[in-house]
Amino acid sequence: MRDELLKQATRIVVKVGSSLIASRSTGLRPEQIERLAGEIAALRADGREVLVVSSGAIISGIKKLQLKEYPKSLPIKQAAAAVGQSRLMWAYEKAFEPLGIQVAQILLTHEDLADRRRFLNARYTLTALIGFGVLPIINENDTVAVEEIRVGDNDTLAAQVAQLVDADLLVILSDVDGMFTDDPRKNPDATLIPLIPDITEEVERKAGASSTFEGTGGMATKVRAAKKVGEYGVATLIVNGQQPGLLPRVLKGEPGGSLFLAKERRLNSRKHWIAFTLRPRGHIRVDQGAVEALTLRGKSLLASGITEVTGQFDSGDPISCINQDGKEFARGLVNFSSELLGRMKGLKTQDIQQQIGPQEYDEVIHRDNLVIL
């Protein structure tokens, strides 16, 4: 199953960590970027479509600005990103030009992906670039992204790009070999796990425990990214990007890395966008009857099943649905504001019409706008 999946993956998103192509002491490492370019060119020569999500801009800018330490304030980080981003793209341009590959820079924020129209526009742009044979190189738009519109980390961004372009495979190039049974720096008997069929709570726990030896971002963020794209039907390969030639060999079926399989249940693009790209603006607590209606019978959420409304949100905003124990079990786009919903909670439709007045919708969240997690 593993070999077949890796060999057949046609559209691949490759996430490149900053530790692979840059260091704080030297800035960008052109020789590493050139090696990576050769490996990506080899994938393209095999008929693969590749998109790159690359870190490294801020570290490149730190070196150029001669900063003595990693900046803590947002304006200094953004200044470093502004200086470093152009240098990073120029390094990629120089590396791919001798190979006959054109590159294009794409800068995104969470706001771009959270707005459905802009999300689709980004999808069409990336698809057009692929059609022209251009290699998209994607990064977060750090120079303008304040905390509210940040994606957060490039593992998450890569997962969202994989969904954005309907990728077959997400590859996360790391500075370790993959997911281990234990922390290999503490336990010499720890072994690499080549195939992870399902991301269980135990897998997530191990990933969190191993984050100290994995490098920037940590194994936990990579496993979370794998879990997100897995819901969309995309597998994730975590592989050591510091070993020359390993990536092309692994994608031809040779051993290496850890492959996280996708869920058999594939969310469509819009529902995956609701579940994993949007950030909930509030929470709705529902009774057990509503939980069963939503999860077992595929029903829409009605006001009668709601027991509590928290947060401030407007009609059309994403919200989280929690059960009586406080556990989130669904997300969706709500049809009413938090203020109005606070008055409607627990009421049947006919009572809402009598006590509050006629409403445009009967459903608080329609099942077409609801995702069971």
Which CATH number does the domain housing residue 147 bear?
3.40.1160.10
The CATH number of the domain holding residue 309 is 2.30.130.10
Average pLDDT of span 264-273:
77
- Asked if 167 contacts 158 with a C-beta cutoff of 8 angstroms, the reply is no
Annotated binding site for ATP: 15, 174-175, 216-222
Q: Which of 178-187, 238-247, 280-289 has the lowest mean pLDDT?
A: 178-187
Annotated binding site: 15, 55, 142, 154, 174-175, 216-222
Q: Which are the contacts of 120, defined by CB distance < 8 A and separation ≥ 6?
A: none
**Which residues does residue 321 pair with via DSSP β-bridges, in sequence order?**
284, 330
How many domains is the chain partitioned into structurally?
2
324 CB neighbour count, 10 Å cutoff: 13
Q: Among residues 254, 257, 260, 255, which one has the least CA distance to residue 234?
A: 260
3-state secondary structure of 240: strand
- 264 and 293 co-located in one domain: no
Annotated binding site for substrate: 55, 142, 154
- Asked if 320 contacts 331 with a C-beta cutoff of 8 angstroms, the reply is yes
Residue whose structure tokens are 């919903």:
341
Average pLDDT of span 17-26:
84
- Asked if 89 contacts 173 with a C-beta cutoff of 8 angstroms, the reply is no
Average pLDDT of span 112-135:
91
- 252 and 302 co-located in one domain: no
- 215 and 319 co-located in one domain: no
- 289 and 322 co-located in one domain: yes
- 255 and 359 co-located in one domain: no
What confidence score (pLDDT) does residue 142 get? 65
Task: Write the pLDDT tens digit of every residue in 54-79.
Answer: 988 888 888 888 888 888 888 888 88
**Which residues does residue 285 pair with via DSSP β-bridges, in sequence order?**
308, 322
Task: Write the pLDDT tens digit of every residue in 126-184.
Answer: 999 999 999 999 998 766 655 544 566 889 899 999 989 989 999 999 888 998 888 77
- 255 and 355 co-located in one domain: no
Please say whether the dihedral angle defined by the alpha carbons of residues 177, 180, 182 and 187, taken in this order, is positive or negative.
Answer: negative
- 265 and 307 co-located in one domain: no
Q: Where are the beta strands (DSSP E) in 141-210?
A: 169-174, 195-196
Compute the mean pLDDT over every residue in the chain, rounded to the nearest whole number. 88
3-state secondary structure of 305: helix
> What is the separation of C-alpha 253 from the centre of its chain, rounded to a whole number of angstroms?
25
- 16 and 126 co-located in one domain: yes
Structural domain that includes position 251: 2-271
- 317 and 266 co-located in one domain: no
What confidence score (pLDDT) does residue 149 get? 43
